[in-house]
Structure 1
């Protein structure tokens, strides 16, 4: 039996939780996969590296919740026009590219 999750924005309207869950999952994967390794390579202890990585994950999740749940338009608002959707996708792709390049810089 599938479980339905009802997520509401700041106006009480239902919103789709999937973008937030995907973003939080990616933040978890990046922060706790790369963070401790880079922390150890910069001379931090494992506990400190994990704490910094967990804090980065918590901050990224809070920002994603604010943007994708609290400020999201309701489900019955209709689809966004294609212009802003493509623009958001372009910015997200550029941000992910910058993140990946930034993660490879210490290896040079």
Structure 2
């Protein structure tokens, strides 16, 4: 049984929700896995660390929604040019790599 939830952009056209869901899942993993640990190491209380991490996740989810759902082209827009797509994918991969390296640096 397949349940389909239609997701629409700002023009009312259907868009693919999978990139948004993957991005939000990664943001949730990073924000609530590393955020409280770093908050505690900087002297914040656990509740404050969780609140700041949840806020960071909410901001990341809002940005992902804006970029990947609200401003997305419709499914029937046809193929997008590969140049800009590859460039965006490269930049996203580099940003994720920088984030992973930054999170593995020991805290001072």
TM range (shorter): over 0.9
C-alpha distance after superposition, 1:3-28 (max 9, x if no partner): 10100000000000000000000000
Does residue 30 of the first structure (1) align with residue 26 of the second (2)?
no
The DSSP-based 3-state class of the residue aligned with 2:68 is helix
Stretches of 4+ moved more than 4 A in 1?
A: none
Aligned to 1:19: 19
State the aligned residue count.
108
TM-score, with normalisation over the residues of structure 1? 0.96
* 1:1-108 equivalences in 2 (<5 Å): 1-107=1-107
CA RMSD of aligned residues (A): 1.0
How far is 1:106 from its partner?
3.6
C-alpha distance after superposition, 1:30-81 (max 9, x if no partner): 0000000111111100000000000000000000000000000000101211
State the alpha-carbon separation in 2 of the partners of residues 92 and 79 from structure 1.
Answer: 20
How far is 1:2 from its partner?
1.1
Structure 1, unpaired ranges of 5+:
none
State the alpha-carbon separation in 2 of the partners of residues 71 and 106 from structure 1.
Answer: 38
Structure 2, unpaired ranges of 5+:
none
How far is 1:105 from its partner?
2.6
